[in-house]
Structure 1
Amino acid sequence: MTSLSDETDGKHGVLIRCCHNASIGVEFRDRFSFDEDSVHYAVELRAPGLTACVNEVVTWTWDSDLALFLDELAADYRGWDDERTWRTDDRDLTVSAVFRSGGHVALTWTLRPWPQAAGAWDASVTTWLEAGEQMTSLAADVRDFLAGEDR
């Protein structure tokens, strides 16, 4: 399940919680932009014993965006074969989707900042969402967040 969250400073974010375990989640927050070509935001992964955050993920507006990827998953609510993947150009955020029986989608969110640097790290969590309405809601929430719109 997803929700738009209001932070104390008036900025909005998106919180994605696993429908099987609400302690597993992903949060998009702190969106800003220097120009019309890019969107910058923080992504935080949470699970029991894990908190990982990248404070500045960058998405370019001319590339295929995350909201479009999620829209395509939501449109295929009856299922698909194989794994589908989306990533930022810098590959610091990757989302992989697999359709499972019972009408659920497993979304694996991976943060991997500075992949070429010494001491680089990565962390992943998997959220489970219903293939229909929850995926549609997630796509809309992410689209609004990336566009800087409040719903």
Structure 2
Amino acid sequence: MTARVNEVVARGWDGDLTTFLDDLTADYRGGDGERTWGTDGRDLVVSAVFRSGGHVGLTRTLRPWTGAAGDRGASVTTWSEAGEQMASPAADVRHFLAGERAGEQAGEQR
């Protein structure tokens, strides 16, 4: 399956995504229920579910223009061991966002 979104606008985030992922990494014992992070408009939602055996399912959902697109979207779930295996997605997001912020700052300096 291929899903593409040309742009996700992230204003008014429900907290920082990297903090959400770091908290999941630190909480290697898991917990009950589902934890969710999302952008204000819910274009991008990241959910985590802990399962027995120390595994966490991380679901990323894109729903662009929820009203105009008829609530269509795409989701992908990956399963990892809780703890250190969760550190990799957190580091990847931090690296990606650092690059985006550096690009924004370079654009402001022009």
The verdict on a shared fold, with TM-score over 0.5 as the criterion, is: yes
1:145 to 77, 96, 110: 96
Q: Which residue is 2:45 aligned to?
A: 94
TM-score of the superposed pair, with normalisation by structure 2:
0.80
**Aligned partners of 1:144, 1:118: CA distance in 2, in Å?**
31
How does the TM-score come out when normalised to structure 1? 0.60
Asked if 1:73 corresponds to 2:29, the answer is no
Q: Say which structure is richer in strand.
A: 1
CA distance, structure 2, for counterparts of residue 74 and residue 118 of structure 1: 34
SS in structure 2 of the partner of residue 106 of structure 1: strand
Residue ranges of structure 1 left out of the alignment (5+ in a row)? 1-49
Equivalent AA in structure 2 for residue 77 of structure 1: Y
Larger radius of gyration: 2
Q: Which residue number corresponds to residue 66 of structure 2?
A: 115
- Aligned counterparts of 2:13 and 2:68: Cα–Cα separation in 1: 27
Question: Which one of the candidate residues 61, 80, 92 is aligned to 1:129?
Answer: 80
Q: How many residues align?
A: 100
Structure 2 alignment gaps of length 5 or more: 101-110
More helix by share: 2
Instruction: Read off the aligned partner of 2:7 and give its amino acid letter.
Output: E
Instruction: Supply the distance in 2 between the matched residues of 1:118 and 1:77 (Cα, whole angstroms).
Output: 37
CA RMSD of aligned residues (A): 1.9
Please report how far the alpha carbon of residue 119 of structure 1 lies from its aligned counterpart in structure 2 after TM superposition: 3.7
1:85 and 2:14 matched: no
Structure 1 runs of 4+ off > 6 angstroms?
Answer: none
Q: 1:90 to 1:103 in 2, by over 3 A?
A: same
